[in-house]
Amino acid sequence: MPIENTDYWQAWFDGAALPNPGKIGVGVLVVSPAGERFEKSALAGCSGCSNEAELHALCSALELAHSAGAKRLVVRGDSDIALRYVAGPDSTGIVRLTALVARARDWLKRFDDVQLIWVPRHRNADADRFSRQALGLPHKPALAGKRKPRRR
């Protein structure tokens, strides 16, 4: 259960790869308890798959929040894999992902408390917009509560 206390900072992250695999864009929004916003939309400077992009974005969110002064943090993202790998106990044998998971876990140690929470894509719109912007892609409005129909 997320802690919704006034001394907790809030962060959202998203990563995108174009094509997949390809260039990596990261998007981050960090909000202080006082409401001050810190935004990041940037290329990661490397290429990789969408899972790598999400892990790069999570690391960027932790780094931005820490540099802004956060001690207690609630982090939200729509990447179940990134959050499960970093929070544990799930793991991967893919070396490129393992290194990013270790990097994110190292960032977690710099905070007094961090809550990692999965959210549906439509609740991660700002971070999604920033990650797409980094890749030169247009904003893709999220449809609240709607999913694409499955192909059969």
- 22-52 tens-digit pLDDT: 999 999 999 999 999 999 999 999 999 999 9
Query: Is 85 part of a structural domain of the chain?
Result: yes
Mean pLDDT of the region 11-20: 97
Query: Is 139 part of a structural domain of the chain?
Result: no
Domain that holds residue 31: 9-134
pLDDT at residue 152 greater than cutoff 50: no
pLDDT at residue 3 greater than cutoff 60: no
Residue with tokens 């960032």: 107
Mean pLDDT of the region 6-13: 95
The pairing of strands 9-18 and 22-31 is: antiparallel
Query: Is 145 part of a structural domain of the chain?
Result: no
Note the pLDDT of residue 141.
Answer: 74
Q: Where are the alpha helices (DSSP H) in 75-118?
A: 80-87, 95-108
Mean pLDDT of the region 104-121: 98
Closest of 142, 125, 113 to residue 2, by C-alpha: 113
Closest of 89, 102, 93, 26 to residue 58, by C-alpha: 26
Q: At 90, is the pLDDT very low, low, confident or very high (cuts 50, 70, 90)? A: confident
The total number of structural domains in the chain stands at 1
Query: Is 150 part of a structural domain of the chain?
Result: no
Contact 109, 59 (CB under 8 A): no
Q: How far apart are CA 118 and CA 113, in angstroms?
A: 17
Mean pLDDT of the region 47-72: 98
Instruction: Round the average pLDDT of the chain to a whole number and report it.
Output: 91
Instruction: Count the helices and strands in the chain (H runs, E runs).
Output: 4, 5
Mean pLDDT of the region 51-66: 98
Query: Is 28 part of a structural domain of the chain?
Result: yes
Query: Is 2 part of a structural domain of the chain?
Result: no
Neighbouring C-alpha atoms within 13 Å toward the C-beta of 48: 22
